[in-house]
């Protein structure tokens, strides 16, 4: 963390490195979480429909929608955080 802060403060003011280091939101971690939720929803659907004989019940559909809805909410929050941090940057 100290290295990141040192890099951010020593970068030229108009540098993209300065912007990337001071935002503080890790898009990679948010993206990994979203991908994991969508893959879990897809695996849940595939196993329920193609492997088990249960079929697509309302309970299974609710869990699939919950996982994909969580991914959507994570993306929305991530965008809001990046926009907020970007607007708060001092130039």
pLDDT of residue 66: 92
**Residue 3 domain-assigned?**
no
pTM score of the predicted model: 0.59
Q: What are phi and psi of 12, to 5 degrees?
A: -60, 150
Residue-range definition of the domain harbouring residue 52: 23-87
pLDDT of residue 5: 44
* Residue 48 reports pLDDT greater than 70: yes
- Split into its structural domains, the chain has a count of 1
> Element (H or E) spanning 84, and its range?
helix 58-87
Cα–Cα distance measured from residue 66 to residue 58, given in angstroms and rounded to the nearest whole number: 12
Work out the mean pLDDT of the chain and round it to a whole number.
75
Cα–Cα distance measured from residue 84 to residue 5, given in angstroms and rounded to the nearest whole number: 19
**Residue 37 domain-assigned?**
yes
**Residue 41 domain-assigned?**
yes
CB 74 within 8 A of CB 38: no
Top pLDDT among 61 and 89 is at 61
**Residue 9 domain-assigned?**
no
pLDDT of residue 55: 85
Top pLDDT among 6 and 81 is at 81
């Amino acid at each position: 963390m100290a290295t990141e802060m040192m890099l951010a403060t020593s970068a030229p003011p108009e540098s993209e490195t300065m912007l990337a280091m001071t935002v503080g939101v890790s898009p990679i971690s948010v993206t990994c979480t979203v991908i994991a939720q969508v893959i879990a929803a897809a695996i849940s659907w595939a196993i329920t429909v193609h492997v088990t004989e249960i079929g697509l019940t309302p309970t299974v559909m609710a869990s699939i929608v919950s996982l994909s809805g969580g991914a959507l909410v994570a993306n929305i929050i991530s965008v809001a955080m990046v926009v907020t941090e970007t607007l708060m940057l001092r130039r």
